[in-house]
Each structure stands twice: as structure tokens, then as C-alpha cells.
Amino acid sequence: MTEDKARLTFLGTGTSQGVPIIGCRCAVCSSTDRKDKRFRASALVEYGGLRIIVDAGPDFRMQMLSQGISHLDAILLTHNHKDHTGGLDDVRSLNYIDRRSAEIYCERNVLEDLIREYPYVFTFPKYPGAPEWHMHVITEKPFIVHPNNDGRELVWVHDVGYSYRMPDGSFVPTGKCIDDMITDAVPAAEETVAEGVRVIPIRGLHGKLPVLGFRFGDIAYITDMSSIDDAELEKLKGLKHLTLNTVSYKPHHSHFSLDETLELADRIGAEHTWLTHLSHTFPKCEDFSIALEKLCRERNIRSIVRPAYDGLVIE
């Protein structure tokens, strides 16, 4: 495997409604500061020469355009809510431009929801123009993300759909049944893997819903959680950068409150902790940053905690 230092770009740092919220005239939603304009939560991770997206919500198209992305090696899904999966149809553009299927990594329950929500993707014979997905089923165990360059080139046939052009020039269907689209992700302990990067899932709960965060080297990305077991916190030792979600000063049924996030940031002890999935109930980004600095100093929190914003790069 080829791993090196990870680099993460925040593509979206807002709640399920984004910021500004439609129709709201509060100071944050009315702000002209670009740091107060928040797409739905998502991140681009560049790791071991691979480009990996974590979550593809309704703003996926604009997020890809903002970064000039024309190739992805993988899309990792934290859970099955629409603000994290609602943009998956837009991989059609990458299918056509990059001539690759979208390699999507998710848990079995998330896959089952996608089959219900995007039936035209999983129906055979396929509807011409449906996006091409290859699903990798993951669990809580570390897994390998492979480069999306296996030599099978997608070729578009008008009014028919896609076929694979093989290295020898022959054409084969992209699949004949749903099972052709689904494989189990390669465990990270697999010693025969020559290419790819190791990703460590972090289990947490989003209210009562089991969800995943992911660790890439010395960066961990966690969103949409309200609790994490102590055993999972062991996976987060020695981080340079940690991302945690918070939506409110007040307790929330499915997200960390600000106090809970600060307590967790101190327990984990990463050099830097970045807050995401932020709502308009917090102050403007610059004011919030100043307030967090003061709070951390008063509470002797050992991590440097700041709000993330769309376009922020950490490495």
C-alpha cells in the first residue's frame, strides 16, 4: 500500500439545511463573509495519491465544480441521510468525463437504503443514462480503498448506456444483475494488496442510528454523531487534525452540543480540532473563532479548537 500524509479540504461545513437557510434573515444567514456560506457537510481527502470524497449530499455538484474535480477514486458514506447521499446521481458527469464507474464504500444498511432511493441505478436492464456505481460494503473494520484505474474504461453508447472497454479492446456489459455491482471491501489486513490506502472507520451513534467516521493517517473526519464509545476513542490517538460535529449550544438528540464537542476534543487531544455541521445558531465564523479561543483558554482544553469553513484545507 502507498500511504503518505493526508490532506483534507472541507467542501461543506453546514447542517442539513445549509447556511444561509432559505428565507432566514438572521445576522449569520445575511452575512456577506464567504466563511458564513456553508454547503452541506462533505470533505475531499487526498491520501496516498488517491482522491476520496466523504459524503455526497445535495450540494455535491457545486462542490465538485468548486474544486475542479474530474476524477475520484472513491466516495465514502458516513450514513444514509439525504444531506449525505442526495447528490449521488450527479456522479453521472464523472462517469462520462472520466470514463470510470463511481466506487462507493458504505455499510450494508446504507446500501439497502440506496437501492430503495435510487431504484433506476440497480434495475436491469439498466435505464440508459443511469449513473454507474460499484458498491463496496464496509464494516467497522479497517479497509482498503483502491485507485480507480483498473483498466476498465466506460464507453457510452447512445440510447443504450455504458459498457466496459477492456484492455484488449473488447466490450462487456457493466453488469447483468444487482450482485454484479456489489462486493465486500478488502480488509486492511489483506497482505496481497499492492495498491491502495488504509482507512480506519470510527463507530458512533447519530441519535439511535449507527454511523461511521473515518481516519486517514493523522486526520480523522467525524460528523453527525451524538455519542462515541470509549473503545472507538482509542482509534483517535495521536491525531494532528480532528473534525467533530456540533449544531447548537443546546443539547441535541442526534448531534453533539458545543459543550459535548469541547469535552470530547479535550479527551482526544488532537493538535487541532475543527468544528463542522455548523448551524446558523452559532455566531459568524470570525466571531465564533474568537469565542472558541476564549472558551478553550478558560477550560484549559489542550486542543486548538476552531470552526471549519467551506474551502478550508488542513494537512
Q: Considering only CA atoms, which of 310, 275, 315 is closest in space to residue 295?
A: 275
Q: From the CB of residue 150, how many other CB atoms can be counted at a distance below 10 Å?
A: 14
What is the H or E stretch that residue 243 is in? strand 241-245
> Which three three-digit cell numbers place residue 221?
473526519
Q: From CA 61, how far away is CA 305, in angstroms rounded?
A: 30
Q: From CA 77, how far away is CA 258, in angstroms rounded?
A: 24
pLDDT of residue 167: 86
pLDDT of residue 122: 95
pLDDT of residue 193: 60
Q: Which residues pair with 314 in a beta bridge?
A: 8
Find the angle CA(204)-CA(101)-CA(172) to the nearest 5 degrees. Answer: 135
Dihedral of alpha carbons 237, 218, 53, 256, sign: positive
On the 0-12 / 13-18 / 19+ scale of CB atoms within 10 A, 34 is: exposed
On the 0-12 / 13-18 / 19+ scale of CB atoms within 10 A, 63 is: buried
The SS3 of residue 222 is coil
pLDDT of residue 182: 96
Treating both helix axes as pointing N-terminal to C-terminal, what angle do 258-268 and 285-299 enclose, rounded to 10 degrees? 60
> Which three three-digit cell numbers place residue 79?
450514513
pLDDT in tens, the chain (315 residues): 667 789 999 999 999 999 999 999 999 999 999 999 999 999 999 999 999 999 999 999 999 999 999 999 999 999 999 999 999 999 999 999 999 999 999 999 999 999 999 999 999 988 888 999 999 999 999 999 999 998 889 998 888 889 998 888 888 889 899 999 999 999 987 655 668 999 999 999 999 999 999 999 999 999 999 999 999 999 999 999 999 999 999 999 999 999 999 999 999 999 999 999 999 999 999 999 999 999 999 999 999 999 999 999 999
Q: Which residues pair with 53 in a beta bridge?
A: 44, 75
Q: From CA 264, how far away is CA 233, in angstroms rounded?
A: 9
Alpha-carbon distances of 205 from 64, 102, 202, 250, 272, rounded to whole Å: 28, 27, 10, 18, 23
Q: Considering only CA atoms, which of 160, 155, 157, 179 is closest in space to residue 100?
A: 155
